[in-house]
Amino acid sequence: MARWEPGARERIVLAALDLFTEQGYDDTTVAQIAERAGITKSTFFRHFPDKRELLAAGQETLSRLLSEGIAEAPAGASPLDAVAAGLERASSEMGPINRELGPRISAAVAASAELQERALLKNVGLAAAMTAALVGRGTPDPVAHLAAELGVLAFKRGFAEWTEGDGDGTDPLAPYTLAALNELRVATASLG
């Protein structure tokens, strides 16, 4: 078992997804994940505090990218236009590996109540990051919350369509998330 091979974090996630698919989340241990990834348990714990956090890997990065995109939107941008800038920024960082892993992560989450709870907390964290970025731009709190929630929903819808789509595998995520946000923008206008 190699101790310091590069790519350990990615190997851990891939090994965990394979095991979650094969035997279920609840029946998979950290020791099994570490063995499948070719690492020690202590290396696993240097990368993740527990197996539940495996599927939330990247949440901090995603929150940061969304927030940066919102903060860097033009000064006169509406809250939803700022959210669109955040979605574009975050989506531009997603590549083929994200597209490949998306359905596998979704399947693992769907099969575990614990992971469903963690996914909901992830969404709350993303919304909080976007809300804070919007408030930092001077958006009133209730408007910031609503725009951020629409941003989370647009990201989820766009990501799902992108990973399940018929594209050639090279099309970027951003058009999907931005299209989802535009659909939500139209839908909110019909609420009256």
Res 62: pLDDT: 92
Domain extent listing, the chain = 8-54, 58-189
| Options 3.20.20.70, 3.20.20.150, 1.10.10.60, 3.40.50.300; CATH of 8-54 | 1.10.10.60
- The reported pTM is 0.84
Radius of gyration (Cα) for the chain, nearest Å? 18
User: Where is average pLDDT lowest: 6-10, 76-80, 179-183?
Assistant: 6-10
**36 touches 19 (CB < 8 A):** yes
In angstroms, rounded to a whole number, what is the distance separating the alpha carbons of residues 51 and 4? Answer: 20
**87 touches 155 (CB < 8 A):** yes
| Options 3.40.190.10, 1.10.357.10, 3.90.1150.10, 1.10.275.10; CATH of 58-189 | 1.10.357.10
What are the pLDDT digits (tens) for 128-170?
999 999 999 999 999 999 999 999 999 999 999 998 876 666 7
What are the pLDDT digits (tens) for 15-33?
998 998 888 888 999 999 9
In angstroms, rounded to a whole number, what is the distance separating the alpha carbons of residues 116 and 81? Answer: 30
Residue 5: pLDDT over 60: no
Provide DSSP, 29-85. -HHHHHHHHTS-HHHHHHH-SSGGGGGGTTHHHHHHHHHHHHHTS-TT--HHHHHHH
In angstroms, rounded to a whole number, what is the distance separating the alpha carbons of residues 89 and 178? Answer: 11
What are the pLDDT digits (tens) for 57-113?
778 889 999 999 999 999 999 999 999 999 999 999 988 888 888 888 888 888 888
